[in-house]
Amino acid sequence: MSIENKTIRISLNVNGKHVEENVEPRLLLTHFLRENLSLTGTHIGCDTSNCGACTVLLDGKSVKSCTMFAVQADGSSIVTVEGMESDGKMSRIQEAFREKHGLQCGFCTPGMIMEAAFLLKEKPNPSEDEIRWGISGNLCRCTGYSNIVASVKYASQTLRGDSE
């Protein structure tokens, strides 16, 4: 990290790509991802970490990027919802949300998908209660959560190779 003209040089890996940029020390990670890197799948919902729309994976852990400065991510690896796809195809978790209608307006969906990815990495076969607890830091104003829970359960089954 070097300071140049009231900016700090950060170096990180975002969705498998090395990124180096000068940023203002107060720039939030969510704004860095959206504005500097044009990764607009990370949504800005509340700026207080209550809604979870800005959830990303930072070094494999689920974090809300609206309450973290970009400089705090220096040296880290970040995965956003855009990084979930592979070779132009949606991940199994993304497919599960499409298949089980785990979205309505779609605003919370990227954060829910990222939270689901973290949950399923930690607990590959979660119960419904564990899924509900796992996504409890992410708000959805449209669906009532039933289809989101079904989507996460279906994703866990497909990731393990189980049939529906």
pLDDT at 3: 55
pLDDT at 46: 87
* C-alpha span between 75 and 19 (Å, rounded): 10
CA 13 from centre of chain: 15
pTM of the complete model: 0.92
**3-82 is a CATH 3.40.47.10 domain:** no
Q: Retrieve residue 121's tokens.
A: 């990495």
Q: pLDDT: is 161 or 24 the higher one?
A: 24
pLDDT at 107: 93
Average pLDDT, the chain: 94
Q: What CATH number matches the domain at 92-159, 1.10.150.120, 1.10.287.3610, 3.40.1010.10, 3.30.413.10?
A: 1.10.150.120
Share of the chain above pLDDT 70, in %: 96
Q: Where are the domains of the chain?
A: 3-82, 92-159
Q: What is the band of 143 on the pLDDT scale with cuts at 50, 70, 90?
A: confident
pLDDT digits (tens, 9 = 90+) for 35-76: 999 999 999 988 788 899 999 999 999 999 999 999 999 999
Share of the chain above pLDDT 90, in %: 84
* Cβ neighbours, 10 Å, residue 33: 26
Please name the residues in contact with 87: beta carbons below 8 A apart, sequence gap of 6 or more.
Answer: none
pLDDT at 17: 97
pLDDT at 49: 83
pLDDT digits (tens, 9 = 90+) for 86-106: 999 999 999 999 999 999 899
Same fold, 3-82 and 92-159: no
- State yes or no: pLDDT of 163 exceeds 70: no
